[in-house]
Amino acid sequence: MTLLMAMTIGVLYACSLYLLQRRNVVKLVFGLLILSHAANLLIFTASGLVRGRTTIIEAGETVLPVDTAPDPLPQALILTAIVISFGVTAFTIVLVHRVNAVVGTDDLDDMRATDSAGKAADA
């Protein structure tokens, strides 16, 4: 199971890095989205996978059995990270939409005004 998860995470990272290197800004957004999924799954897997159990203390017990129950903390971390990536993704989509409206292109190579400002002054 861990091996399968590790391979999934690896493929997700590879996909996102591939997408991040495309020139299309929409693919850039997808790349960032998949990257945050990959990181979340990594947190989930790295802290150890437990199948078929919940982090609920059994009736009559007072503590969680440390060796058999899954660790609740990574799940809390992932929830936080999901909320953050949700907000960031929403912002990025709006930004990309505005860029497309103002600049009139979705090609990153055409967005060079800020880099060429110095060069224009040189010429």
Q: What is the pattern of x (binds other proteins, CB under 8 A) and - over residues 71-110?
A: --xx--x--xx--x--xx--xx--xx-xx--xx----x--
- Rounded-to-10 torsion of CA 48, 50, 53, 57: -30
Give the residue from 113, 112, 78, 100 showing the smallest Cα distance to 28. Answer: 100
Count of all residues that appear for the chain in the document: 123
Shortest CB 39 distance to other proteins, Å: 4
Q: State the CB neighbour count (10 A cutoff) for residue 38.
A: 19
Shortest CB 3 distance to other proteins, Å: 15
Tell me which amino acid residue 32 is.
Answer: L
Structure tokens at 94: 């709006």
Q: Which is nearer to other proteins, 39 or 69 (CB)?
A: 39
Shortest CB 117 distance to other proteins, Å: 6
Q: What is the pattern of x (binds other proteins, CB under 8 A) and - over residues 50-69?
A: --------------------
Q: Which is nearer to other proteins, 56 or 90 (CB)?
A: 90
